[in-house]
């Protein structure tokens, strides 16, 4: 076949070959792979009419909202958790400490029967409440027969010095015999130590006046 007989210029010899491969890309590249889409307007890849985002903040750009086929993407928002709550304290009985605000005057009796002559006796009493002694009153009828050696609240002496004191100084008729004893807690022993200085056995009878704290 002569070139001059072909209408339309140079013949395409590749098209005449049976089983020949398709012509290469005009720029020299091979055929595009399956699923490949050339860049669309705006530089986005994907099928025509479909927008594929490539960055989380991409949808926020105002230009992308006008792109054909644009669909806003919804991303999970950060979860806000409430602060951990401490468990409620257990309900039940509990101790409440309250200051002592009231006081009442009460007496405590000290009695020792048949104290032999020239003998020392210790009379002990344990108050069941907070007690603060203020005045010791010895019965007038036996005051001459006794002397007071010591007075203690617990183990603490309530006298300024050691030595015998006549019980007549603490009779119910004595004047200005008020004292300020230590406060005895419930169950604390208050001790009065006396001696019978008479020639015969005598009963010791006395009352300690004081305040009960409530």
Contact between residue 108 and residue 189 where contact means Cβ atoms under 8 Å apart: no
Mean pLDDT of 32-45: 53
- Predicted local distance difference test score (pLDDT) of residue 39: 55
- Predicted local distance difference test score (pLDDT) of residue 4: 47
- CA-to-CA distance for 123 and 149, rounded, in angstroms? 12
- CA-to-CA distance for 53 and 45, rounded, in angstroms? 9
Q: How far is CA 116 from CA 138, 164, 167, 169, 190, in A?
A: 18, 18, 17, 22, 22
pTM over 0.95: no
Question: Where are the domains positioned within the chain?
Answer: 28-70, 103-213
Candidates 3.40.1130, 2.60.120, 3.30.70, 1.20.120; correct CATH number of 103-213? 2.60.120
By percentage, how much of the chain surpasses pLDDT 70?
53
Rounded to 5°, angle at Cα 177 from 171 and 178? 130
> Model confidence over 153-172: pLDDT tens digits?
999 999 988 889 999 999 98
Q: Has residue 18 got a pLDDT over 80?
A: no
């Amino acid at each position: 076949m002569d070139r001059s007989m072909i209408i339309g210029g140079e013949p395409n010899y590749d098209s005449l070959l049976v089983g020949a491969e398709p012509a290469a890309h005009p720029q020299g590249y091979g055929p595009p792979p399956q699923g490949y889409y050339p860049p669309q307007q705006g530089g986005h890849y994907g099928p025509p009419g479909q927008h594929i985002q490539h960055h989380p903040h991409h949808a926020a750009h105002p230009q992308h909202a006008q792109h054909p086929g644009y669909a806003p993407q919804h991303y999970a928002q950060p979860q806000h958790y409430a602060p951990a709550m401490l468990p409620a304290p257990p309900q039940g009985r509990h101790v409440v400490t309250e200051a002592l605000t009231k006081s009442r005057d009460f007496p405590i009796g000290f009695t020792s029967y048949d104290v032999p002559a020239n003998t020392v006796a210790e009379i002990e009493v344990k108050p069941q409440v907070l007690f603060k002694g203020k005045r010791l009153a010895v019965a007038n009828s036996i005051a001459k027969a006794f002397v007071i050696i010591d007075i203690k609240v617990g183990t603490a002496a309530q006298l300024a010095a050691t030595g015998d004191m006549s019980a007549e100084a603490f009779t119910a008729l004595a004047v200005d015999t008020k004292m300020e004893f230590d406060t005895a807690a419930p169950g604390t022993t208050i001790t009065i130590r006396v001696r019978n200085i008479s020639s015969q056995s005598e009963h010791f009878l006395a009352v300690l006046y004081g305040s009960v704290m409530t």
